[in-house]
Chain A
């Protein structure tokens, strides 16, 4: 009976159609419209296009002279780099440390994973209170050590990057930590026993057993981290709205939102959205080539 189902492909198609329809309506059609909108003249949100721009590619010309867009792309690339180094890097270190302890493994797993389940907006508000200029937790904490009033503006021109990036890093470390620790659990204990008989130390076990066998897991984490950093929006928007401070903190996502919804420049917002998609495709392809998974079979 089963073989009959697989020979006849029609039932499979029937099940594929609803999912494809959803994708068509809610993804491909809006994307095609977005491309069209980027060439159109749209006076405001919720308004229909009044025709094509003159020249029709004018938004793309503006893109190259837009300083804020340049800042947004650079910041997004910086965030991507930080994501690779700090999110995946710290998650790897934590996973390796916890893999070596016997008591409290589950506690640390839950503790590090916890930030993932909190909404990014709530985290943004929480970190706003931590980094508050007057009476914020961090400044109050520093007062304990310095014994005089500390008024550090954590969102000023010289510190905004730390203030915005640190919570983003902190939020997702737990996710990669859990992925890596699952990868570590899949390594056969026989390899460790053999290594112990050969006199391999803990560090050598990491260098010659754990890291090589984690290669594919780490590649997956890195690709997820890179593509994920292109989509970061809610936490930066809650903490550093409208490029705070002084148009320094724009990311591609936050800038697109601002242009579309605050400035009501819908057609230019559509152009930025296309850049985000292109950037995502190119970077994801590069990441796939650089972090190609090894076939151990």
Chain B
């Protein structure tokens, strides 16, 4: 009888321990399967980044981490995911419960505000008090200062640009010349008409999933640089007019039949595939798409150029910027055994060589000396370099200044506007009400 009681008690305790084990405050972000981290002798740091499996720079990131480990003898336990809303939420949740990583590669705009307000990350100024050469290879004004206090907290790797990819084969078969500087909206509409008449889809886009690339340029075309980052307070203010006119331009493209037939019911992957299959002529997307062309199509068949423009925007003005960087968390900074390892990690991951490698698709960098040119760049990247050489201004995306709820509402309604079930004014008003 005693034995049975003992067994019952042991089972209960075991179950209880297993149950509560998951409630521990320590996070395990290790996805490398390396359990020998603690026994190697060097420091072990945890790193969370957005260099997930789909990221074009995942290979470069892994290589740079391995190089850091080899150089320092430290070990990195890293966890990566794609930079979507869920990932942002999980990062914030980790900070809320005290399970933050030691180094974080994260956004430097409004998304980072809670981290700064909670004093959960260390400013570059504070780090430099002890490590004077920290981020000394970066241009101060391009590092992405926090909207909270204007201080720099993160060290950037590379930025992004958004521009128009053109399919040379489709343009040639449609009798359309490749767009160059000063390409106007009217010229663009005329070209779309020719392409459509030749039996091709003029624009590869999913207004169901990714209307924001066109939204940014249509708003910039109608509001100009000075107004671009202003969120409308009312429909009739300057920004409000730009948004209404911009959305009307997007609807015009849909109404004229320049988008894929299933633009309102297909995903981005499905519509963008039209570019690789020589079925569509134009697509507006970001610098990260260069890698996609290299893997899925012949990069030499594509050209990157600035999107069509209206009176208020010069064709050499692009959407782009540097929106992410490496943060050292307060928790790691206060831990003497990890401080050196974290500082060294960020220094190595943001060195001129590493940043240049990450920027091989012509991305913007904050390097004082500029990125080292890639001698093996493909034809597409050469056109990017050519385009970047002519750029006069780069401005951030206005969508980064509105809340997630507003963003979801606005972009979710683009397809409804195109379908005619909602007016452009109603879509903007709905967003303002969120």
Instruction: Check A40 for interface membership: any CB of B closer than 8 A.
Output: no
| Cβ < 8 Å to B, chain A residues 237-289 | 241-247, 258, 261-265
Q: Which chain B residue shows the least CB distance to A263?
A: B408
Cross-chain contact A245 with B261 (CB below 8 angstroms): no
Cross-chain contact A47 with B96 (CB below 8 angstroms): yes
Given A17-B12, A18-B19, A134-B274: A246 and B264 interface contact (C-beta under 8 Å): yes
Cross-chain contact B23 with A263 (CB below 8 angstroms): no
Q: B12's contact among A14, A48, A156, by CB below 8 Å, is which?
A: A14
Instruction: Check B336 for interface membership: any CB of A closer than 8 A.
Output: no
Q: Which chain A residue shows the least CB distance to B266?
A: A133
A160 contacts across to B, CB distance below 8 A: 265
* Min C-beta distance of A40 to chain B, whole Å: 15
| Cβ < 8 Å to B, chain A residues 206-250 | 241-247
A interface, size bucket:
35 or more
Instruction: Check A51 for interface membership: any CB of B closer than 8 A.
Output: no
Cross-chain contact B88 with A45 (CB below 8 angstroms): yes
* Min C-beta distance of B278 to chain A, whole Å: 13
The A contact surface, by secondary structure, is: loop
Cross-chain contact A264 with B91 (CB below 8 angstroms): no
| Cβ < 8 Å to B, chain A residues 156-191 | 156-157, 160
Q: Which chain A residue shows the least CB distance to B415?
A: A246
B11 contacts across to A, CB distance below 8 A: 15
Cross-chain contact A246 with B92 (CB below 8 angstroms): no
Given A133-B270, A262-B408, A265-B405: A246 and B416 interface contact (C-beta under 8 Å): yes
Q: B85's contact among A21, A48, A262, by CB below 8 Å, is which?
A: A262
Q: Which chain B residue shows the least CB distance to A5?
A: B4
Instruction: Check A11 for interface membership: any CB of B closer than 8 A.
Output: yes
Instruction: Check B267 for interface membership: any CB of A closer than 8 A.
Output: yes
Instruction: Check A130 for interface membership: any CB of B closer than 8 A.
Output: no
Q: B419's contact among A133, A151, A246, A258, by CB below 8 Å, is which?
A: A246
B1 contacts across to A, CB distance below 8 A: 1, 4
B95 contacts across to A, CB distance below 8 A: 46
Interface centre among B85, B265, B274, B279 (most CB of A within 10 A): B265
Cross-chain contact A242 with B412 (CB below 8 angstroms): yes
Cross-chain contact B266 with A155 (CB below 8 angstroms): yes
Cross-chain contact A47 with B92 (CB below 8 angstroms): yes
Cross-chain contact B265 with A21 (CB below 8 angstroms): no
B71 contacts across to A, CB distance below 8 A: none
B88 contacts across to A, CB distance below 8 A: 45
A247 contacts across to B, CB distance below 8 A: 412, 416
B4 contacts across to A, CB distance below 8 A: 5, 11
A265 contacts across to B, CB distance below 8 A: 405
Instruction: Check B93 for interface membership: any CB of A closer than 8 A.
Output: yes
Cross-chain contact A264 with B15 (CB below 8 angstroms): no
Cross-chain contact A132 with B92 (CB below 8 angstroms): no
Cross-chain contact B15 with A246 (CB below 8 angstroms): no
Instruction: Check B8 for interface membership: any CB of A closer than 8 A.
Output: yes
Bound complex: CA of A21 vs CA of B261, how far in Å? Answer: 54
Cross-chain contact B96 with A245 (CB below 8 angstroms): no
Cross-chain contact B92 with A45 (CB below 8 angstroms): yes
**Could you jot down 12 A-B contacts, CB within 8 Å?**
A11-B4, A18-B12, A44-B89, A44-B404, A45-B85, A45-B88, A45-B92, A134-B273, A241-B267, A246-B421, A261-B86, A263-B408
New contact pairs (18) apart from A45-B90, A156-B265, CB-CB < 8 Å: A14-B8, A14-B12, A18-B15, A44-B92, A45-B93, A46-B90, A133-B261, A134-B279, A153-B261, A153-B262, A153-B265, A242-B208, A245-B264, A246-B264, A246-B416, A263-B405, A263-B409, A264-B85
9 closest cross-chain pairs (CB), A and B: A45-B89, A46-B93, A46-B92, A245-B265, A18-B15, A264-B404, A263-B408, A155-B265, A153-B262
Residues of B bordering A, CB below 8 Å: 1, 4-5, 8-9, 11-12, 15-16, 19, 23, 85-86, 88-96, 114, 208-209, 261-262, 264-267, 270, 273-274, 279, 403-405, 408-409, 412, 415-416, 419, 421
